[in-house]
Structure 1
Amino acid sequence: MQDLIILTVLLLIFAAIVIVYLFEISTGFVFFTLSILFLLTGLIETKEFLSSFFDETLMTIVTLIFISKGLEYNRLTEVFRNLLLNGTKRYVLFKLNVFSMVYSMFVNNAAVVSTMIGILRGRYKYQRPFLMSISFASILGGMLTLVGTSTNLIVNNLKMKSGFPSWNLFDFFVIGIIPATVGLIYLAKVPLQLFDEADTDLKDKSSIFEVHVSPDSKLIGKSIEENGLRNLKKIFLGEVVRENGELVSPASPTHIIQKNDRLVFVGDKEDILSVGILKDLVVLDTDSRYLLKNVNEVIVSDESDLIGLTPKNAQFRARFNAVIISIRRGDKVFYKNIGEETIRSGDQLTLVIGDDFNKSYTNDLSFVHLEKKVETNGMMSSILFLVFFICILILNLFGLLSLFKGTLLLLVFAFLTKIISLNSLRAEIPYNLIMTVGSAFVISVVLKNLKAPELILSFLLPYLLQMPVFISLFLFFIFVIFLTEFVSNAVAAGIAFPFALSLAQGLSTATEPFFLVTAFGASASFLTPFGYHTNMMVFSIGHYKPSEFLKLGLPLTIAYVVFVYVSILYKFDLYVSF
């Protein structure tokens, strides 16, 4: 009976991974639902379930994300960023990668990549050689410290709960610095050779055109909805420009069409002939650069509750006072039947917005705002905030202050000095991350309580015991890397850790190397855009194909595996078994 329960649990976890990967439903939602199922069936006690979602490590991850927001608005960071884009293209790429890597050692890498995107959009027209490289550099940098990525904190938490001592702040540095350095050298040259300099302007100008409402048009005196312009299938009405120059944006269904109005549509010009009522309108030969005045561009974040919904089902217009005129997904763009297109994480939305959009939804976690103008804090408060943060890291390094207590103190300081406002934090609570990390802890507890790793390894140990330990370590490393390409790094770490512990104990060898390859493997997402949130952030902006991640990421993954693996072997003297 126990074996049947274990098999069922493993199949449910596998099914959840397949659902997330194939249907691109929110990872947090899918695995939180699975966690609820485990709770209801008694596979985890209520106390263990609640402690997973109110865990100190999870709260530390959340507070570090909030602190990242304070650093994003830091005047010193702003000054330093302005120095990055001077020099030759290769030198600029190298500086961007170094900055992303070092910054990600202490700051949430999603915030780092978001900052880099803003810099490039303001100063560089061509982005393809830069964006994927920056994402990869931030991943490499995050692996150099305990706080650089949530993966390290998650594995450290599971490690402590299993009775092992905690890692220190820079325990990962010795293992990660060589692969990070090799990665920097690789990323400073290859992206410029691999990617063309295609214009990555988000507006698909060929799909925007303008028509004139003649004085005798049948549309005059009736609303947009009454004229049947509300739910056109092949073209979309974005804005209306009145004869006196007044702009109606986005075009409301109740707006009354007047003579000499100019209607700005999105879609193929040829498709206008398929709409009978529009046949008497004159298509103007207007340069598309001068159309659509109130346009904003955003990326759907992995925290968004829009994922898996269509704009129509999400009531997008009513909720945000904005309408989607195109969706870009990697190198593909959709501007027909937008209302029926399912929204996915990483989608780049081109919006026609109302006047209150930027004010009301700048801090909405549904989006990464590409047009966001960051107002930095004053120089003195910026210096104090940065010094406070460094002091916390130093105190933690010497074991004098826990990260959670330190980050809470820093947040209180940020509130008192108005570096961070309570209102902005309330809007930026990372619910999806909380559900994902909490679910990772639940899955790890369930697997451990059922002794599922022991059952599976009982079939493999007779073969593994005949091999040197370093081969088992390598095979497990590859397994974790493969797993993290199909599911989030947090869930990959939660699934892999119980197996790492059981495998090390079954082989009667040190557990530390297996814990380290779990952490390093779970963050090694360089092969697809889907395994890591920063990859998804740049996927659509750079107009990348999934295969292009493989082209740039495969050599990097091979180098990463080799140097991390050799570093671990050397550190723990496992090379002597060669």
Structure 2
Amino acid sequence: MPMDLSQLFILATLFFLVGMLIWGRYPVGVIFSSVAFVYFVAGFIPLESLTRQIVNPGLITVVLLMLMATVLNKVRLLEVWANRLVRGGYRSALAKLLTVVGLQSAFLNNTAVVASLIGPLRSASKKDAPKLLLPMSYAATLGGMLTLIGTSTNLLLSGFISEAGLPEWNIFTPLPMGILLFCICLGVMLLLFPYLLKPSEVEETPREDYLIDARVSEDCPLIGKTVSQAGLIRLDELRLVEIVRHGQVIAPVRAYQTVRPGDILVFAGDVSRLDLLSQFPGLVTRGHGQDIPTDNLLEVMVSGESALAGHRLGRVDFRLRYDASIVAVRPVTPHFDLMKGQLPMRLQAGDTLVLATGPDFTARNGVERNFIPISRPMVTKFVRPWKSHFALSTFLLTILGASLGMFSLIKGLACVLVLSLAVNLVRAQELRRNVPWQLIFTIASALVISYVLNDSGLAAIFANGVLATLDSDPRLSMIAILLLTALMTEMMTNNAAAALMFPVALSTATALGLDYMPFVMAVLYGASASFLTPHGYQTNLMVMSPGGYRPRDYLRAGLPISVAYLGSAAFLLPVFFPY
């Protein structure tokens, strides 16, 4: 049956959506929200249905879990274990690391789990870091699919199920099959990774590669002037990032800061351009920043969900917005060249930044959402052990109570957050700063798009096309959904792949007259199959620069894992979820 004009219009917007996601220039939330807005304005979804998507239980649960992660990120647990995890031989260390990370990621935010271990693992075992960081990312991905709260994608699918009026899932619905898949992939990694990942020392860029400093002499004519009046704030290929005054660091440097005798002016950029400083009488160049304090230098990565990705640096005032200035940028390219001198025109997800941070950096809005720490944690950990124990125990008791049906997960998480505020585990402004707006827009918009695909009949058309191609074979149709979801996850993001494939999976089950579970679970497991590219899943991107990986490393290490995972999933899905 030919498509009508409305279906053709929706199809065109879907092609636009997929193309923009693959291009990766703009944040996922912006792309999804734009398409959802077009559908609303065009009348494809009524206002009452739109508002119902925004208050979807799955979306509310995601928000509460992300806010709970603000508390749990302060727990000193994984950092304490890091040295113990890498003791012994490589296979022993790998088995311990993957097991702990996988189990943690089943209940905690897997991005936070990986972020908390990158620095300690690099410090504990620099030579073996490339052999540990990528497997750790894979374990976090695999651990996330073990429970309903392991990833936002699982909760997104749960929201789709709730919206469709189908029986709600339990927290541990994916666990039985997920544990088996996890063990299979763990065995493959223990067997092959000693040969696929080679040990190598990840070179850390010395300070002298991007910092140079000059001392203000007693008779310098610039004394008393502001750095702006003196023309120091920004030279052609050098940027004034901090001032060291009597052993104290002033960073970032504001335009109104005055020059004083004895100040050490620290510049970032092309350190070969000493001639740019020689034009200022009374500035004595000292060298390449060997003796200046570096406690305020922080290495961070631009997160995959950062609102800064795709933005021009000239439009991002780091000094004002984040109380920090950019010292250097390592673009997410195959060669990882540190860019000195002129900064790149646009930031990309995965770019590594060296920042000179001020005292207010960690308190600024959006810092934790936009940046993932690499060199050291940005979050102040609990000093008193009882706080760590209290936070973990109340969270785990909430999960247990919700899984036993004693109360809803939403009520339990809301009560734990209120209790955390009451006992001063977290402050209200911390929770406000960490509201995941980007994720909220993405999931709410994904729910809208899924509604439109179902309501317009376009999902049914896609499903009938799949069935016609595969002679209405249920097993082949389920495998096709699994593989297509996995492919889309590698090309865009797991949330996007799940949002686009869920309506097709549900329509396929309806057309065959079979139970929906094997087809929808194929989407769930397929959306967790990101092993081949650095951009398919955020944790893959996080370890790219610290581990010194190139795209071919992901393909070489991820291919056997992907084959084992998808092959096992195709065989096990009808066993655990009969048609």
TM-score of the superposed pair, with normalisation by structure 1: 0.89
**CA distance in structure 1 between the partners assigned to 2:412 and 2:260 by the alignment:** 61
- Relative distance call for 1:278 and 1:341 in structure 2 (3 A) is farther
1:123/1:237 Cα in 2 relative to 1: closer, same or farther (>3 Å)?
same
Q: Which residue of 2 aligns with 1:101?
A: 102
2:147 to 128, 145, 148: 145
Q: Which of 461, 486, 494 does residue 489 from structure 1 map onto? A: 494
Q: Give the 3-state SS of the residue equivalent to 2:168 in structure 1.
A: coil
What do residues 407-461 of structure 1 show as CA deviations (whole Å, max 9, x unaligned)?
A: 1222222222222322211111000111111111111001001010222344443
Matching residue of 2:314: 312
The alignment partner of 1:536 has SS state of helix
Distance 1:72 1:188, change over 3 A: farther
In the alignment, the residues of structure 1 paired with residue 554 and residue 207 of structure 2 have an alpha-carbon distance, to the nearest angstrom, of 23
> Does residue 398 of structure 2 align to residue 396 of structure 1?
no
Q: Secondary structure at the match of 1:296?
A: strand
The residue that corresponds to 1:12 in the other structure is 13
2:392 corresponds to? 386
- Cα 1:444/1:373, change in 2 over 3 Å: closer
Taking a change above 3 Å as real, the CA distance of residues 203 and 49 of structure 1, as seen in their structure-2 partners, is farther
TM-superposed deviation, 1:50: 1.5
1:232–1:185 Cα change, 3 Å = farther
Percent identity (aligned): 31
Partner of 1:225: 228
CA contact (8 A) 1:16 1:31 kept: yes
Task: Give the residue type in structure 2 aligned to 1:251.
Answer: V
**Whole-Å Cα distance in 2 between the matches of residues 169 and 286 of structure 1?**
54
Deviation at 1:342, TM superposition (A): 1.4
Counterpart residue identity of residue 341, structure 2: K
Residue from 136, 153, 156 that aligns with 1:154? 156
State how far apart, in whole Å, the 1-side matches of 2:162 and 2:247 are. 65
Match of 1:299 in 2: 301
CA contact (8 A) 1:221 1:256 kept: yes
Identify which range, 195-204 or 212-221, moves more after superposition.
212-221
Counterpart of 1:451 (choices 457, 464, 467) is: 457
Match of 2:545 in 1: 540
| Match in the other structure for 1:526 | 531
CA shift, 1:362, in A, is 9.3
Distance in 2 (alpha carbons) for counterparts of 1:304 and 1:532: 14
Query: Is 1:473 aligned with 2:475?
Result: no
Q: CA RMSD in A?
A: 3.0
SS in 2 for 1:434: helix
Matched with 1:208 is 211
Alignment-mate amino acid for residue 355 of structure 1: P
Give the Cα separation in 1 of the matches to 2:355 and 2:216.
24
Q: Distance in 1 between matches of 2:216 and 2:519?
A: 70
CA contact (8 A) 1:202 1:541 kept: no
Counterpart Cα distance in 1 of 2:98 and 2:537: 17
Shift of 1:189: 6.0
Q: Residues 267-314 of structure 1, C-alpha deviation per residue, up to 9 Å, x if partnerless? A: 333334477836996654456475655312222234433232233312
Match of 1:250 in 2: 252
How far does the alpha carbon of each residue in 1:355-381 deviate from its partner, in whole angstroms, 9 at most, with x for none?
332455696433223422532264445
1:152-184 residue CA offsets vs partner (Å, 9 max, x unmatched) = 222222123323322222221222222211222
**Structure-1 separation of matches of 2:455 and 2:566:** 31
Aligned partner of 1:323 in structure 2 is 325
Q: Give the C-alpha shift of residue 187 in structure 1.
A: 3.4
Q: CA–CA distance in 1 between the matches of 2:392 and 2:248?
A: 46
- TM-score scaled by length of structure 2: 0.89
Determine whether 1:437 maps to 2:443. Answer: yes
Is 2:243 aligned against 1:240? yes
Q: Match of 2:142, as an amino acid?
A: L
In the alignment, the residues of structure 1 paired with residue 95 and residue 208 of structure 2 have an alpha-carbon distance, to the nearest angstrom, of 32
- Gap change, CA 1:204 and 1:19, over 3 Å in 2: farther
| 1:152–1:222 Cα change, 3 Å | same
* 2:356 aligned with 1:352: yes
Corresponding residue number in structure 2 for 1:114: 115
One-letter amino acid of the structure 1 residue matched with residue 253 of structure 2: A
Taking a change above 3 Å as real, the CA distance of residues 326 and 508 of structure 1, as seen in their structure-2 partners, is same
Task: Tell me the equivalent position of 1:181.
Answer: 183
Which residues of 2 match residues 403-418 of structure 1 at below 5 A?
A: 403-418=409-424
The corresponding residue for 2:41 is 40
Aligned residue type for 2:296: N
Secondary structure, aligned partner of 2:237? coil
5+ residue gaps, structure 1, are none
Per the TM alignment, residue 196 of structure 1 is displaced from its structure 2 partner at its CA by 4.0
Deviation at 1:67, TM superposition (A): 2.3
> Aligned to 1:153, what secondary structure does the other structure show?
helix
C-alpha change, 1:344 and 1:250, in structure 2 (3 Å) is same
The one-letter code of the counterpart of 2:546 is: I
* Farther-moved stretch of structure 1 (151-160 vs 192-201): 192-201
Task: Check whether the contact 1:377–1:419 (CA below 8 A) recurs between aligned residues.
Answer: no
Mark the CA change 1:436 to 1:316 in structure 2 (over 3 Å): closer, same or farther: same
* Cα 1:227–1:388 shift into 2, 3 Å: closer
User: In terms of mean alpha carbon deviation, does 212-221 or 545-554 score higher?
Assistant: 212-221
**Letter aligned with residue 465 of structure 1:** D
In structure 1, distance between residues paired with 2:565 and 2:119: 28
Partner of 1:539, secondary structure, is coil
**2:426 pairs with one of 398, 420, 424:** 420
Given that residues 223 and 253 in structure 1 are in contact (C-alpha distance below 8 angstroms), is that contact kept between their aligned partners in structure 2? yes
Judging changes above 3 Å, is the alpha-carbon distance between structure 1 residues 284 and 273 closer, same or farther for their aligned structure 2 residues? same
1:214 Cα deviation after fit: 6.3
Cα deviation for residue 40 of structure 1 reads 1.0
Q: How many pairs align? A: 571
Which amino acid is the alignment partner of residue 353 of structure 1?
T
Which deviations, in whole Å up to 9, do the C-alpha atoms of 1:33-72 show, x marking residues without a partner? 2111111111111111122122111111111222233333
**CA displacement 1:503-561 (0-9 Å, x = unmatched):** 22223333221111111111211122222222232233333323322222222111110
For residue 2 of structure 1, report the CA deviation from its aligned partner. 5.6
1:239-280 CA deviation, whole Å, 9 max, x = no partner?
A: 3345x5564433333444566654333233333447783699
The letter for the 1-side match of 2:462 is: I
| Counterpart amino acid of residue 432 in structure 1 | Q
The superposition leaves residues 126-177 of structure 1 with CA deviations (integer Å, 9 ceiling, x where unpaired) of: 5322222211101101111122112222222212332332222222122222
Structure 1 residues 417 and 283: alpha-carbon distance in aligned structure 2, compared to 1, 3 A threshold: closer
- SS in structure 2 of the partner of residue 210 of structure 1: strand
Question: Is 1:367 aligned to residue 371 of structure 2?
Answer: yes
CA distance in 1, matches of 2:69, 2:267: 40
Residue in 2 that maps onto 1:199: 202
Counterpart residue number, 2:269: 267
Decide whether the 8 Å contact of 1:480 with 1:521 is kept in 2.
yes
| CA distance 1:285–1:433, shift in 2 (3 Å) | same
